[in-house]
Chain A
Amino acid sequence: MKIKSVFLMAIFSVTANKLRTFLTLLGIVIGVAAVISLMSIGRGTQQAITAQIESLGTDLLFVSPKTGANLTLADADLIASDPRSDFLVAPQISAPASITFRGEETSAVVNGVTGAYGSVRNLEIGSGHFISPAHVKNRNEVVVLGYQVAKDIFDERLPINEYVSINGRRFNVIGVLEEKGGGARFGSEDGQIFVPLTTAYYRLTSERTTQGEISVSTINVQSISNSDLVDKTVEDPKEYISDILRFSHRTVEDDFSVTNLQDVINTLNEATAALVVLLGSIAGISLFVGGIGIMNIMLVSVTERTREIGIRKALGAKKRDILGQFITEAVLISVTGGVIGASFGAFISYSINRLRLFGPDFETVITADIAILALTVAGVIGLFFGIYPAARAAKLNPIDALRYE
């Protein structure tokens, strides 16, 4: 039988019972739309996180202490003062803090940093200026606000030279950062505040090392510094920094870890890829339910059309003709549902962006592979759930089928 006639026949049969076909279709439409919109949200998250991290520059490394161990300001100085390399080093202490301005309280992450932090993390100053070495030296109680924090506290007013209270101490606002984007929930600087490292250590946190040295939470290291000293570029900065610290710490096992940004991106990508798959699978369940709907309706259809099957067989239809006819009908329903569902899912995804449902910085991402995947799965589901009813139809004995009332 010609493909064209098979196809036309399937369209004819499927459109015969419009309401029924529509309802069956709906199951697939909802399933595919759910797969596409959820996966596009997942992909959007993935992209936002990656973009956020990459904005820091991929030549950034983080040194952090293992649990129970300490990193100190001395370690940071050691790396910075290494004669054979030219690292830009920015130690950092981070802690949650509550900020009060005229009785209104907000919370933010407070970072104790040095002047180098701004250039290492690519921070742009919007107004005022960043922490200076003098601030660090004098343990000044000054603060630089992230964009979102400043906006939350001061609205449109200029915060410079105002005083805010951090954990009960008065700090002078000396600067506000440019908007970084990416949303505060992904660890963007927009939701953070910055004070001199020494101030943070002595005034805001209570941790003390046994040796009386200043301990830090992270040492940020930019491996390629701004200088043009070609002979001071290091082949494997991760290993190089580890060696410096091993030599100084003299422990059997490393009590610190060095992570470069690419590692972080890779780890997060794995995690978010799993998230995308998870979201897709949850939506896939509704697709599966849609498939069961197709099977159900095809079984009803085969029973209703028993006599038709008998007639077709008497007229010379082979088993495979009947099999093909019913499978084509099932796949036609599922693929049509897939196409409608894909458009619908794309529309939902577009609306999320248009209406800024998940904030101004979040964009869903629909890639061709998501659409192709959803359509293929829809087709396969039609095939899978269509085979059994079609086989039942093809197996019918023509005489019994002709006698069927």
Chain B
Amino acid sequence: MVLNDRLDRLVGETSNMISLQNVTKTYQIGPSLIKALNNVNLSIEAGEMVAVMGPSGSGKSTLMNIVGCLDVPTAGTYLLKDRKVEELSENELADIRSTNIGFIFQTYNLLPRLTALANVELPLLYDGSKNTKTRALEALEKVGIDDRKNHKPSELSGGQQQRVGIARALVKNPSIILADEPTGNLDSKTGIEIMGILQDLNKNSRITVVVVTHEEEIANYNDRVITFRDGSIVSDKPVSDKILISDKYLSNRAANNEN
């Protein structure tokens, strides 16, 4: 069943969404040169859901920043939908972030003084979209938190804040959602709910998802796990028994209805 799912997707879209060729990122700190990414080659296809793992300092966040066009490689080539990102200007990078990328953060990074709705509306304000309120509300509905639309982040639980964070990431229908340890600050039950939402977006909205995680369990909700150590990929393999939460929930709900 998991295999069928993946095959379906491969038949539909074969082009690479993300392609890194010999990407290196170095930081100069005083006299020493730190290679946060060392000659990384990596392709992620459209519609994939990928987990990135590795010990602290192995370069996971650095990878996410480059994939998300917040940063550019020191050396090598990064193709996003076949566009060479390192050739783009700062404004063009901002455009790509605006139209193609949705970020989800471990610490949610909601603006504390804005309501949930206003936080979700924010990305829409930067491209002159119309009906921003309606669209933001739709995004909140999609992650099941629309009843809290007028709450400030401080009035929401961690799990609820992260749902708002996801709504903000998906409000512009991005091609890619990048989540850097989205469940890192949540208990495991809430973490699984979040993974369920990401799976739903991946499956039903066909958004490519990359999730950084430290937890083996969370990784198992993805199609593929890439492991980093010291800035290099040390393993890259499919998940043989991917857990599908939406199905599980559906069956749970079905079971509940039967009772």
Binding site for B on A (CB under 8 A): 1-2, 5, 9, 12, 16, 307-308, 311-319, 321, 398-399, 402
Complex interface: chain A residues within 8 A of B127 (CB)? 316
Query: 7 shortest A-B CB distances, which residue pairs?
Result: A316-B98, A318-B94, A315-B123, A316-B126, A5-B125, A316-B97, A398-B70
Could you tell me if A316 and B113 are in contact, using CB atoms closer than 8 angstroms? Answer: no
Task: Say yes or no for B31: interface residue by CB 8 A criterion.
Answer: no
Q: If A311-B109, A314-B97 touch, does A1 touch B126 (CB 8 Å cutoff)?
A: yes
Q: Is B128 an interface residue when CB atoms closer than 8 A count as contact?
A: yes
Instruction: Give chain B's interface residue range (CB within 8 Å of chain A).
Output: 20 to 34
B109–A316 CB distance below 8 A: no
Expressed in whole angstroms, the minimum distance between the Cβ of B169 and any Cβ of chain A is: 9
Contact at A1–B90, with CB atoms within 8 Å?
no
CA A9 to CA B111, docked complex, whole Å? 12
**Inter-subunit contact A315/B68 (CB<8 Å):** no
How close is A405's CB to chain B, nearest CB, in angstroms? 10
- The answer to whether residues A399 and B103 also contact, given A1-B126, A312-B122, A315-B168 and a CB cut-off of 8 A, is no
Known contacts A1-B125, A2-B125; decide if A16 and B65 are in contact (CB<8 Å): no
**A1-B128, A5-B125 as given contacts; A316 in contact with B70, CB under 8 Å:** no
Asked if A12 and B113 make an inter-chain contact with CB atoms under 8 angstroms apart, the answer reads yes
A311 lies within 8 A of B71 (CB): no
Which residues of B line the A interface, CB within 8 A?
Answer: 65, 68, 70-71, 90-91, 94-95, 97-99, 103, 105, 109, 111, 113, 122-123, 125-128, 168, 172
A89 to B168, CA, bound (A): 90
Shortest Cβ distance from A320 into B: residue: B91
Q: Which of B91, B94, B109, B125 contacts A307 (CB 8 A)?
A: B109
- Chain B residue nearest to A315 in the complex (CB): B123
Docked complex Cα distance between A12 and B152 (Å): 14
Q: Nearest residue in B to A307 (C-beta to C-beta)?
A: B109
- List the B side residues contacting A16 at CB < 8 Å: 113
Which A residue sits closest to B108, measured CB to CB? A311
B95 touches A316 (CB 8 A): yes
Q: Is A314 in contact with B70, judged by CB distance below 8 angstroms?
A: yes
Among candidates B94, B113, B168, B172, residue contacting A313 with C-beta atoms closer than 8 Å: B94
Q: Which B residue sits closest to A318, measured CB to CB?
A: B94
Cα(A308)–Cα(B114), bound, Å: 11
In angstroms, how far is the closest chain A Cβ from the Cβ of B95? Answer: 7
Q: Which residues of B contact A312 (CB under 8 A)?
A: 122, 126
**Contact A317 to B65, CB < 8 A, known contacts A12-B113, A399-B71:** no
A194 vs B255: C-alpha distance when bound (angstroms): 117
Residues of B within 8 A of A317 (CB): 94, 126
CA distance A256 to B147 in the complex (A): 93
Q: How far is the CA of A307 from the CA of B123 in the complex (A)?
A: 16
B91 touches A316 (CB 8 A): no
CB distance from B175 to the nearest CB of A (A): 14
A318 touching B103, Cβ below 8 Å? no
Chain A residues near B68: list those with CB within 8 A: 314
22 contacts between A and B (CB under 8 A): A2-B125, A9-B125, A12-B113, A308-B111, A311-B109, A312-B122, A313-B70, A314-B109, A315-B97, A315-B122, A316-B97, A316-B98, A316-B123, A316-B126, A316-B127, A318-B90, A318-B94, A319-B91, A319-B94, A398-B70, A399-B70, A399-B71
